[in-house]
Each structure stands twice: as structure tokens, then as C-alpha cells.
Amino acid sequence: MNTEPTPQPLVVAIDGPSGSGKSSTARGVARRLGLDFLDTGAMYRACAWEAARTGAETPEQIAAVVTAAELQVTTDPDDPRISINGTDVTREIRDPEVSATVSRVATVPEVRVDLVLRQQQIIGEATRGIVAEGRDITTVVAPHAPVRVLLVADPDARVARRQAELGEKVDTAQVTDQVIRRDRDDSTVATFTEAAEGVTVVDSTHLSLDEVVDRIVRLAEEAAR
Ligand SMILES: Nc1ncnc2c1ncn2[C@@H]1O[C@H](COP(=O)(O)OP(=O)(O)O)[C@@H](O)[C@H]1O
Ligand SMILES: Nc1ccn([C@H]2C[C@H](O)[C@@H](COP(=O)(O)OP(=O)(O)O)O2)c(=O)n1
């Protein structure tokens, strides 16, 4: 009889501030290792989009909209999609209006409790394993993940990356607000500026995306040994 324990699906948890490269890195790691991919920020963004659509403004109104919402998240790293109450908002959640208001939604305690539970369910159902990224994955959503990384980068590099991504659509002051002010607001409810115990810090300021992916894949391979 085989007495070897069945290996658990691998969970890789990545946190970090805006523009540190979480989404691109997590997708790259998921592709390389054949795992699913979960962008938890997209869930907060979809809720912010729905709160705006329904005119929810107070924390109570926002919490009511989020807890009643049907959220559908697909976890293919090549085509991650998100729908809320039947509307696919994959593209809309990247609009500057959503970036400007999402922290108001993400800082409502009931919203966090609700979305953390949904994220834990998605992670638990990922039979081939998953790379999940956000602000509180290493500390709250998946604190027992065998691979936990805090991805950081200097503020100037993060603003420059976001600016390059958004191009002509927004000016530097707007991008700085989206990155620096949002991090300040978000860090009131999640700890992503300092690594929790056992979390590996990777500084991407002077690393290419491929180099960052390589490092995390190596950490995953070490954890699997
Ligand atoms: N190591 C890196 N070096 C240079 N640019 C990067 C690196 N990692 C990510 N980027 C780019 O920076 C931008 C922001 O990355 P993203 O993954 O969206 O960050 P986050 O999810 O942390 O906000 C994207 O345009 C991405 O291609
Ligand atoms: N696990 C998470 C993920 C995101 N959030 C919040 C914080 C952010 O302002 C928004 C959007 O996150 P997202 O990862 O899309 O933001 P960036 O791509 O890093 O700019 O959601 C959170 O509070 N907890």
C-alpha cells in the first residue's frame, strides 16, 4: 500500500504595493508552473465598479452591495476574467475612475471579510495549485502557503511603470495619486509594506520581469523538495 501522503496543490502567495509587478509576475509564475492565477485586486475593483454603478456611497451601502453580489472569477493565467452580477467587467475595472475609488471599497471591513472568504474558496478549489496576488495574501488569505513573497520596488519605478502602461490617458499627477496615495490608504487595512515572518522579499526595482519570475519559480521548486 502506498503510504506517501497525497501532495497538496501548491499555493504561491504574492503581496506588494501598486506597480511592484504583482499581476505580471504572478501570471508568469502560474504559466511556468502550470498553475491557476488569482488577481484579488480585480475582485476589489469589480466591487468598486458595482458600487459606482448602483450609487452606493456610505460604507453600509457599499457593504450591502458587495455581500449581495454574484462574483464570477476565472483563473486561467492566459485569460483571467471577472464578472459581477452577470456583467463582464474585465476591461472596465482598469479605468482610472475605478483606480481612484477602489480604496474606499477595499477599506470597508465587511467587504474584506466577504472577499477574503471568496478568495479562500477559489484557492481551496484550485486542484492544480494557484498563484494568488494582492495585499493580504501572505498574511490573511493564505498565511500557510508554502511560498510567500512580498514584491517591492522603489516608488519612482512603480509610478514610471504605471505611467508607461497607461500612456497618454492620464497625467503624472493622476498616476502618482493612483499609486502612492492609494498605497497609503490601502496600507491602513493590510500590511504589505513590511514582510511578515517567513515571507521572502523580492525587490524588482532593478530586475526584469523574467528575472523576478525566475526567482519565484526557484522558491517554489525549493518548497516542493
Ligand atoms: N520587473 C519588472 N520590470 C519592469 N517592468 C515591470 C516589472 N514587473 C512588472 N512590470 C511592468 O510594470 C507594470 C505594472 O505591473 P503590474 O504587474 O500590473 O503591477 P501590480 O500588479 O503590482 O500593480 C506593467 O506594465 C508591467 O509590465
Ligand atoms: N488582497 C487585496 C488586493 C487588492 N486590494 C485593494 C487595494 C488596491 O487599491 C485595489 C486594487 O488592487 P490591484 O492589485 O488591482 O491594484 P494595482 O494593480 O496594484 O494597482 O484593491 C486589497 O485591499 N486587498
Q: Where are the domains of the chain?
A: 11-217
Write out the three cell numbers for 168. Answer: 497618454
**65-109 pLDDT per residue, tens:** 999 999 999 999 999 999 999 999 999 999 989 988 999 999 999
Confidence of residue 42 (pLDDT cuts 50, 70, 90): very high
What's the ipTM? 0.97
Residue 67's CB is within 10 A of a number of other CB atoms, namely 13
pLDDT the model gives residue 2: 67
Neighbouring CB atoms inside 10 A of 126's CB total: 19
Cα–Cα distances in Å, from 128 out to 12, 58, 62, 203?
12, 39, 34, 28
Q: 65: CA distance to ligand 1 center in Å?
A: 31
Q: Residue 7 above 80 pLDDT?
A: no
The C-alpha cell of 45 is what?
475593483
- Which residues are CB-neighbours of 116 under 8 A, at least 6 positions away? 136, 140, 141
| pLDDT tens-digit series, residues 46-60 | 999 999 999 999 999
The architecture in CATH of the region 11-217 reads: 3-Layer(aba) Sandwich (3.40)
Nearest to 147 by CA among 200, 193, 197: 200
Tell me the C-alpha distance between 56 and 68, whole Å.
13
Q: Which ligand is nearest to the CA of 208?
A: 1
Query: 133: pLDDT confidence band, cut at 50, 70 and 90?
Result: very high
Give the binding-site residues of ligand 2, using a 6 Å CB cut-off: 18, 22-23, 40-41, 44-45, 102-103, 106, 134-136, 182, 186, 190
- The pTM score is 0.95
* 186-202 pLDDT tens trace: 888 888 888 999 999 99
